[in-house]
Amino acid sequence: MRRILPLVAFLAALALALAVPAQRAHAQGFASLIADSVSLRGDNTLVAEGNVEVFFQGTRLRAQRILYFRATDRLQIDGPISVSRDDDFILLADAAEMSSDLRDGILTSARVVLNRQLQLAAREVNRVGGRYTRLSDSVASSCRVCEENPTPLWEIRARSVIHDELERQIHFEHAEFRVLGQPLLVVPRLRMPDPTVERFTGWLSPELRYGGLLGADVSIPYFIALAPDRDLTLTPRITSRGSYSFGVRYRQAFARGDLEIEGALTHDRLGQGRIRGYAFAEGRFRLDPQTVLGFDLAAVSDRTYLDDYDIADQEVLTSDLFIERTARDAYSRGRVTRFESLRPGDTNALLPNHVGDLRHVQRFGVPGLGGTGRITVDALAAHRRATDPVDGAGRDMARASLRLDWRRDWVLPGGVIAAGLAEIQADHFALRHDDGFAGRITRVTPAAAVELRWPWVRQDAGGASHILEPVAQLVWAPDGQPDTPNEDSLLVEFDESSLFALHRYPGNDAREAGSRANLGLSWTRHDAQGWSLGVTLGRVLRLRDHGQFTALSGLDGIRSSWLAAAQFETADGLTLSGRSLIDGSGRIEKGALRFGIEGERLSVASTLVHLDAEPAEGRDATSTELNLDTGWQFTPNWRGTAEGRYDIASRQPARLGLGAQFRNECLAVDVSLSRRFASSSSVGARTSFGLSVDLIGFGSQPAGPARSCAR
């Protein structure tokens, strides 16, 4: 019959057998003991036998027998023995001699398990001061070992291993790293973080890449934990083509924001041999619950550096400083931006390199009229380094705008929803270095509209609901407007969101002129099985053509192109959506088709885009491009990825990338292969290979599914 000693009975027995002084007992705390039997041998020895469990200051000890010797204040423990503390420390042994507080002792044929990941087996284990665990002739690994195959995937053998529980570090002496039992590397001394460490100073896993202009490329980051709220990463990088880089990344978290700075300097041998580099900085700071101050800064030594060293795929560098405030009925933003084009054909002196803009929007209820009103204040200033006035090559521009708009909805008999819309905007331009415009221009553009919607709702016998909604919007706007420069509204998108807009330009420099009718019809089905289908068809009819839009925008002419859009979604993660602009002859001028799957094992994101040639938008040839990004978890441990871009119009691929990731209980491997094909805008074809390997068990990393052992 199992005998359980409650805490009070055990303390009484312990006091009789050990005569622990009251002051020491108060300082150290008491232990709880559970065993099949407990007895006293004479006055000096306490014996607990059979399924023994001891709980002392968060530590749990299990054994078959424990003998406590009062004269030496030591424990003799017969195994199998298990000493555990939460889930981050488990010690298993055959036999042990330990102090009564379990802080010091010697264990034979022992094994230490840290955070249920890393295992350290040794002939003998010494516990010192409750802080250090010293293992002699030890083997460390986080790989599962099967009876039919006792060799782990990787292991570290060492003469001695010391685990410092306070610093959470593991120190190896004469460490031999083995893969599949074969020695690979010997290191006299090695220090690694234990599995509970998330941030600690030390070397990170190296990354190997091959291909492109650099040949073999190796980078080895060194992480420095400066404090709990900031860190520094130094990354030396060397290539087989003779280039040497030194990268730096600094991060700091604040109570109300964060800061990150990164950059690199490179002694480059790709050309004549010179110093190249880049610097990025990003910061976000919340001044109060509604206000954010931020900046994004970017600088590079030359146009091709980021591409040569595969740092970032950017054609234009943007640096800005901004502050914005968001409230329930108001939004304010101020921003200063610097643009620098990295495209070979661009001349930065002719582009608006420095732009400043201010914007404030206030929403309010309109007394007497009802509905919702908004007042918008907007200002923009653009500066070019060039001063040539011909064709606006050196134009500097400043614009101030004030807009007031209003909308109110009514529900009419029969379920018809009517709306009234009105707005008026005043703009003032100040110009320099442009002989095509006057120095100062003032423009006032009113607009008004009446909108009718008639939603029809039906639910069929199967539980599916159908919504059919025709919409007609009649817009009045003046025909004539003064000719003004356009910096912020060069590209216009005609889609579902802009079909019923009074003005379709994305900015304020240009305003849509002329009266028109915006017509649309939408149908949506929500099925009881969880899938939905929506279709939208729309068109714009004008009284006259003002020649204000490009042909490819779909909005030019008296009759716009047909806007056709559809979206299909299922409950299990399948999405299919498409949008097209179709001219009067039925030909697709512009179209996009998106397909996506988001499942437990498979994820797919694919886009097909077709654009007709449009010189006004900088595109001299028709473009049809297919993009694919997919991932497949084809086994619990293996995941494959593929991405690519194929130019259907020119019948050649533009980019292709393949990757494979392996992760189990002790190892993470990431292999990648990418190919960039030559094109008119690329320097040339480039193929690169990447490899990174992480040992799971050192530092806090998520482990994959453990390998199974065959039976």
SS (H, E, C) 515-534: CEEEEEEEEEEECCCCCEEE
CA dihedral 115, 120, 123, 127 (to 10 degrees): -40
Token output for 480: 């004539």
Q: Determine the 3-state secondary structure of 410 from DSSP.
A: strand
DSSP code at position 122: E
Which pLDDT value is given to residue 639?
A: 95
Res. 682: pLDDT tops 60? no
Please state which CATH number belongs to domain 7-153: 2.60.450.10
What is the average pLDDT value for the chain, to the nearest integer? Answer: 87
- Which residue type, as a one-letter code, is found at position 499? L
Long-range contacts of 67-70 (CB under 8 A, 24+ apart): 68/17, 68/18, 68/100, 69/44, 69/45, 70/17, 70/18, 70/19, 70/43, 70/44, 70/45, 70/46
CB 477 within 8 Å of CB 513 = yes
Res. 7: pLDDT tops 50? no
Mean pLDDT of 125-143: 88
Task: Tell me the sheet residues that pair with 674.
Answer: 657, 688
First CA to last CA across the chain, in angstroms?
37
Token output for 569: 């979604």
Which pLDDT value is given to residue 89?
A: 80
Res. 241: pLDDT tops 80? yes
Place of tokens 């002329």: 514
Distance (Å, rounded) from C-alpha 195 to C-alpha 178? Answer: 20
Distance (Å, rounded) from C-alpha 151 to C-alpha 709? Answer: 12
CB 57 within 8 Å of CB 84 = no
Distance (Å, rounded) from C-alpha 514 to C-alpha 476? Answer: 7
Nearest to 430 by CA among 391, 402, 395: 395
Which pLDDT value is given to residue 604?
A: 95
Residues 31-67 pLDDT 10s: 788 888 888 887 788 888 888 888 877 788 889 998 8
**With b meaning 16 or more CB within 10 Å and e meaning fewer, what string describes 607-616?**
bbebbbebee
Q: Which residue has the higher pLDDT, 169 or 701?
A: 169
Confidence of residue 710 (pLDDT cuts 50, 70, 90): low
Burial class (CB within 10 angstroms; exposed 0-12, middle 13-18, buried 19+) of 153:
buried
Res. 236: pLDDT tops 90? yes
Q: Determine the 3-state secondary structure of 317 from DSSP.
A: strand
Does residue 21 come out as left (phi exceeding 0), alpha (psi in the -120 to 50 range) or beta?
beta
Which pLDDT value is given to residue 5?
A: 35
Res. 29: pLDDT tops 80? no
pTM: predicted TM-score of the whole model, two decimal places: 0.81
Lowest mean pLDDT among 550-564, 609-623, 670-684: 670-684
CA dihedral 538, 544, 550, 554 (to 10 degrees): 10
CB 536 within 8 Å of CB 581 = no
Which pLDDT value is given to residue 4?
A: 35
Res. 22: pLDDT tops 80? no
Long-range contacts of 272-275 (CB under 8 A, 24+ apart): 275/301
CB 126 within 8 Å of CB 689 = no
Mean pLDDT of 237-265: 94
Q: Determine the 3-state secondary structure of 535 from DSSP.
A: strand
Q: Tell me the Cα Rg of the chain.
A: 36
% of the chain residues with pLDDT over 70: 94
Mean pLDDT of 591-595: 95
Res. 26: pLDDT tops 60? no
In the chain, where are the structural domains located? 7-153, 622-711
Distance (Å, rounded) from C-alpha 638 to C-alpha 635? Answer: 5
Distance (Å, rounded) from C-alpha 553 to C-alpha 557? Answer: 11
Residues 157-188 pLDDT 10s: 999 999 998 888 899 999 999 998 899 889 99
Which pLDDT value is given to residue 702?
A: 81
Nearest to 88 by CA among 63, 59, 53, 110: 59
Confidence of residue 85 (pLDDT cuts 50, 70, 90): confident
Mean pLDDT of 345-358: 90
% of the chain residues with pLDDT over 90: 48
Lowest mean pLDDT among 316-320, 484-488, 495-499, 627-631: 484-488
Residues 452-499 pLDDT 10s: 999 999 988 888 999 999 999 999 999 988 888 888 888 899 999 999
CB 485 within 8 Å of CB 431 = yes
Which pLDDT value is given to residue 551?
A: 85
